[in-house]
Amino acid sequence: MQAQNEKIASYAEKAKKLGVQSEDLQSAANKIGQFGINPMLANHLIDLDDGSLGTLYLGENLLELDKLANMPANQALLYLDQIVMPKARKLKPSVNAAPDPLDTPRGAGRSPKSGGPKGATFE
């Protein structure tokens, strides 16, 4: 039980790093739970680094979820890895890691005064 709780905590942390909202993940997990997929398949999703994306995808695509629920476990694992996860990885939110600009851009207009001693002209 302790190991399972650690897996779930790790899964939640990975989901957070991927930018997955915990509310969306919980909603998708509830839908998956209602379909009663094979526990081995659920554990595989938890073990994947981007398994939370698979959970979201399956929560939004109930036909795929129904297919998985009605397949034998080994066939479902292959289907998950080869068909579902490549589609699920496209759900990854794009995160812009660029920092905010240091200087706020100013509107067009007269340029600031040039430096130098008073009365000096530059050509």
Residue 20, domain member (yes or no): yes
Residue 121, domain member (yes or no): no
pLDDT for residue 99 is more than 80 = no
**Confidence bin at 114 (pLDDT 50/70/90):** low
Residue 33, domain member (yes or no): yes
Q: For 97, what's the count of Cα atoms within 13 Å in the CB-facing half-sphere?
A: 3
Split into its structural domains, the chain has a count of 1
Residue 39, domain member (yes or no): yes
User: DSSP letter string over 84-99?
Assistant: IHHHHGGGPPP---PP
E strand or H helix that includes residue 24 = helix 22-35
Residue 106, domain member (yes or no): no
Residue 101, domain member (yes or no): no
Residue 81, domain member (yes or no): yes
Q: How far is CA 60 from CA 24, 74, 104, in A?
A: 10, 23, 40
pLDDT in tens, 21-46: 888 888 988 888 888 888 888 889 88
Q: Which of 15-19, 36-40, 78-82, 105-109 shows the lowest per-residue confidence on average (mean pLDDT)?
A: 105-109
Residue 13, domain member (yes or no): yes
Range of the domain at 9: 2-91
